[in-house]
Amino acid sequence: MLELIAQHPVVSSLIALIGLALIFGAVLGYAAVRFKLEGDPIVQQIDDLLPQTQCGQCGYPGCRPYAQAIANGDAINKCPPGGQPTINALADLLDVEAPSLDAEHGEESEVKKVAYIREDECIGCTKCIQACPVDAIIGAAKQMHTVVIDECTGCDLCVEPCPVDCIDMVPLEPTIKEWKWQKPVPAEQAVQLIATDRDSGDTGRAA
């Protein structure tokens, strides 16, 4: 054995290398089959960050396809409903620079909107029901339709197919339950050298 190695160093080293390659190849091959992952975990993570409006403004038919596209290298700034916070979160996840929203796909709206059907104008064509990606519109053929506000994602996909234009996107009124305290203006931004600079309309705080 040793003799053989001493006499044919090149051949024996080649044999050793090929042997190693075969062993590791077998191990890796087995692992690939045994520990195969269903689906791409990064797609799931991206999908979790997207707002799930299923509006298709990004050019993909729903949030998950866009997540898939991002995983395949598409830009992360095509989601107007998510806006900058979503882009930032995606950039954080994928460890890239956060670009600003691509205006080509729409603008980020300030207030959340939901679809509202003017019910006496509805002719019951069911076109909006077919368009709604989350089944938030109820109604039947030749019956009035209405939107379940709690389920509406505000994607406005139902507005376009309506033949009588009876669907409006109305901003959601803030309710007392959803109200939250506002963050105070940071000290650095509200620089006031003397106390009397302060505006008189200060509602103040209790504490």
Positions in the binding site for another protein (CB under 8 A): 47, 50-54, 62-64, 133-136, 151, 153, 174-176, 178-184, 186-188, 190, 192, 195, 197-198, 202-207
CB of 98 closer than 8 Å to CB of 87: yes
Closest to another protein by CB, 3 vs 173, is 173
- Other beta carbons within 10 angstroms of residue 75's beta carbon come to 15
Closest to another protein by CB, 110 vs 135, is 135
Closest approach of another protein to the CB of residue 26, in Å: 39
Closest to another protein by CB, 3 vs 150, is 150
Find tokens 């089959």 and name the residue. Answer: 33
Query: Can you tell me whether residue 32 is helix, strand or coil?
Result: helix
Dist. CA 57–CA 79, nearest whole Å: 7
Packed helices 83-94 and 41-49: angle between N→C axes, nearest 10 degrees: 160
* ∠ CA 80-86-88, rounded to 5°: 120
Closest to another protein by CB, 14 vs 111, is 111
Closest approach of another protein to the CB of residue 11, in Å: 59
Closest to another protein by CB, 34 vs 183, is 183
Closest to another protein by CB, 34 vs 180, is 180
Closest approach of another protein to the CB of residue 74, in Å: 19
Phi, psi of 97 (to 5 degrees): -65, 140
CB of 167 closer than 8 Å to CB of 115: yes
Dist. CA 127–CA 122, nearest whole Å: 11
Dist. CA 146–CA 121, nearest whole Å: 11
Biggest alpha carbon distance in the chain? 99
Closest approach of another protein to the CB of residue 125, in Å: 19
Closest approach of another protein to the CB of residue 153, in Å: 5
Closest approach of another protein to the CB of residue 185, in Å: 8
